[in-house]
Amino acid sequence: MIPVPLLVVVVGCWTAVYLTDLMLKSSGYFKHSYEGWLADNGLNISPFHIRWQTAIFNYAFYSWGQRKARLLYQWFNFGMVFGVIAMFGSFVILGKTLMMTLAQMMTDSPSSSSSSFSSFSSASSSPLSSSSSSTHSEQVLQVVVPGINIPINQLTYFFAAVLISGVVHEIGHGIAAIREQVRFNGFGIFLFIIYPGAFVDLFSTHLQLISPVQQLRIFCAGIWHNFILALMGILALVLLPIILFPFYYTGVGVLITEVAEDSPAIGLRGLFVGDLVTQLQDCPVTNVQDWNECLDTIAYESQIGYCISASTLQHLSFPVRDLERAAPSLFRHLKSHGWVVNEEKVQGPGLSVKFLGVVLSAYKRLDGSTECCNNHSVTNVCFSYTNNFNKHLHTCLPIRKAVKATQVCRTNKDCKQGSTFCTVPSLDIHTRLIKVRHPPQIDTLYIGHPLNLHYTVSVTSFVPRFNFLSIDLPVVVETFVKYLISLSGALAIVNAVPCFALDGQWILNSFLDATLTSVIGDNDVKDLIGFFILLGGSVLLAANMTLGLWMVTAR
């Protein structure tokens, strides 16, 4: 569902703007001065739409468009080839995305679905949403809605990337138009509901008089520049460690930049901002990708165990002398019925239980795990192991002492020393005991779902070389570049779709004029072919957007 507060704010702001505009235009006193002010400043206001156009950048556009003519000619020729390939390729991408969305609707919960047509899906720890489903991870395009599947605290990145991608797109159209001798009237920026964008105003008569190939260079220039911007973003992301090398170093672990207030990792011996994590369980961590992969591995594999000798088990196991403190009612009950309770055994009528590393009793929880410790214990955990007689036993151990400086294991065979058992924490199927190493602090022992650690602890691969440097700067740069790559790339693909009112419509018309005019003499037949292609592209894009929005909002 779309957040109601966000919806109220957006509708309220636009209502106020529209009513103010209507009042001023209806006022006999302010009408002429207000309309004159709008015209002088190139402003146009309509419901849910504000548009600003100016000619102050015309000199810059003409300077760029008339410089190095032959180089620009080759540049926009490459763009023309890319645009035609992208136009036909967009059909394949949209068709594949639609099939994956339909498959997702049948199998996935809406929480893992995709959500405004504006981003490439990313497999890294990316600011965008990720899903555990294989179907979703292969999608090239996914719908994103600010405030729903884009965090509120990242909306600045989102809207800045949208605006920059739009400006670069229109700069491409403007320079190409000037290169082809089409008059350039001005450049502008608009705001539609909450989405910013840009546009260029070209003299349409000049545009209609030039050849179809010249038109193709102009119409393809926008998506070509978006594609190049996305490639530059990818290059910047790859080179970021080198760019920031004088100030930040990488490859030594992940630095914690934020721990959510409700994170299970918070505590006296928990994780704090500035901690450098180098290992999760037996999985070494050198960067953010390692952090994510280690957590995924821990989540999908069974709980790892720890090699503990029989003597250590007996020494660490919950002793009888603690029975009175931990379970006073049980202790009093046993004593009142004539039971003998000492450090060696508990003996009563017809029953004697010796304490040789095994607790007095164990029971299964509803989730299938076994409990053999005091329910309120925060330092002890129930462990299970198989002894030399292949008997499955449980013991209550102080967790920190049990896992300290011990070898990890899956079975007893992994424990090489004699009389050593692989003891595994007895937890429910989704819970894991994770030893987080972040020297010089003592290891953090995290018990919970690995995904909670992933979502509530933010990390970066960049470690400051100097104390005065911010640990957030590389995160800000990296996050913004990822948004720029996603949104600029998506703008290139979506605008290439042969759909009414998009660049793809004009690219298709110019392409058909350039290729079919000599083959099909009848213009009506050519126009009919173009109409059906446009209709198919429009339906395909509308279906993707409708189903994507429904997946993230209605469900």
Collapsing DSSP states into helix, strand and coil, what is residue 257? strand
Torsion 217-222-223-229 (CA) sign = positive
H or E element in which residue 530 lies:
helix 523-549
Question: From CA 212, how far away is CA 222, in angstroms rounded?
Answer: 17
Contact 466, 474 (CB under 8 A): no
Torsion 124-129-133-136 (CA) sign = negative
Question: From CA 349, how far away is CA 363, in angstroms rounded?
Answer: 22
- Reading the block at residue 35, the tokens are 């309309």
Confirm whether 170 is a catalytic residue: yes
Among the listed residues 170, 180, 371, 478, the single catalytic one is 170
Contact 399, 379 (CB under 8 A): yes
Helical residues (DSSP H) of 108-143, grouped into ranges: 134-137
Question: From CA 16, how far away is CA 10, in angstroms rounded?
Answer: 10
Contact 384, 407 (CB under 8 A): no
Question: From CA 58, how far away is CA 54, in angstroms rounded?
Answer: 8
Helical residues (DSSP H) of 27-131, grouped into ranges: 31-40, 58-65, 69-107
The DSSP secondary-structure symbol of 276 reads E
Cβ burial, residue 501 (10 Å; 0-12/13-18/19+): exposed
Contact 456, 259 (CB under 8 A): yes
Question: From CA 403, how far away is CA 298, in angstroms rounded?
Answer: 16
Which of 432, 418, 425 has its CA nearest to residue 402?
425
- Reading the block at residue 422, the tokens are 């692989």
Question: From CA 253, how far away is CA 269, in angstroms rounded?
Answer: 19
- Phi and psi of 445, rounded to 5°? -105, 105
H or E element in which residue 386 lies:
strand 380-386
Q: Which residues are catalytic?
A: 170
